[in-house]
Amino acid sequence: MVDLSVRIAGVEFPNPVIAASGTYGNGECYTDLYPLSKLGGVSCKGMTIEPKLGNPPPRIAETYSGILNSVGLQNIGVHGFIEYYLPTLKEEGNVIIANVAGATIDDYIAAAEALDASDIDMIELNISCPNVKQGGASWGVSCEGAAAVMSAVRRATKKPLIVKLTPNVTDITSIAKAVEAEGADCISLINTLLGMRIDINSRRPILKNNMGGMSGPAVFPVAVRMVWQCFNAVKIPIIGMGGISTWEDAIEMMLAGATAIQMGTAIFTDPYAPLKVIEGIEEYMDKNGIKSLSEIVGQVKPW
């Protein structure tokens, strides 16, 4: 029997496949298809301390081997999540990761404090949000911004903290090291790549927000590269994501250095994709005599 379980910051996952934030809602659309407990965990829809309407439509645009989105973090707020979604998720028996976003440090602190008193298992910090006090640049594009969020939230909660890194930077490892130094228990990467599509007839951007985050299979090689770079730069665990569609992708990401993986865009075309990946990983391990996933994490052999 192979062991699919993984441990991250003291939290035990039954398998390494986690539904990615923003693509799985809070699991409510999938409970009629299969028990959510079949997954390793669920990273819930990104939430802010106050409810948010999100961006005006169109908010989704297709592109080659992926999609662009500018949903804009539409959500019912942290307290709404705790009241309406969390009880149902707890009944499913999942590892529950609350994804948190904010425009100011105080936003992150307030969200973390509220979640600290709840039954969630981990908090994932989305630092790709605009820092409104610094001209709208993402918190995660500078070591200083990323470290500031991490340091503040670390003091606000005892929950294990994952920091979700943006790929829209020149050196991903410096950001990873900055949040590790401030007490991050884990990093997850990559978030979406900034992109744009234009309607050639109207000559306007397809997205009302002009630009959006690109996800899907096209970004997978970028994600693998960044996970590998971070694995060689920090000592904390990594959750890899970005274009993972098959079990082969998942194994590749783990060889690059990911302890667990998140799946998102692939679920839009096949809601059973995570279950197929779990099954494929198990068969791969059995075929290759691998007893524990720890045997392959970071085991790529560079030339």
Start-to-end CA distance of the chain, whole Å, equals 33
Contact 111, 49 (CB under 8 A): yes
129: annotated active-site residue: yes
Contact 237, 257 (CB under 8 A): no
* Alpha-carbon separation of residue 46 from 56, 168, 273 (angstroms): 17, 19, 21
Structure tokens at 34: 């299969």
The single residue of 44, 129, 186, 230 carrying the catalytic annotation is 129
* Residues shown for the chain: 303
Residue the block writes with tokens 């690059």: 256
Structure tokens at 243: 């274009």
What radius of gyration, in Å, describes the C-alpha atoms of the chain?
18
In the chain, the amino acid numbered 172 is I
Cite the beta strand spans of the chain per DSSP E. Answer: 6-8, 11-13, 17-19, 41-43, 60-63, 66-69, 96-100, 122-126, 161-164, 186-189, 193-195, 198-199, 204-205, 212-215, 238-240, 260-263
Output the CA torsion sign for 26, 167, 153, 37: positive
Residue the block writes with tokens 């959500």: 75
Partnered with residue 89 across adjacent β-strands are none
Contact 151, 157 (CB under 8 A): no
What are the catalytic residues? 129
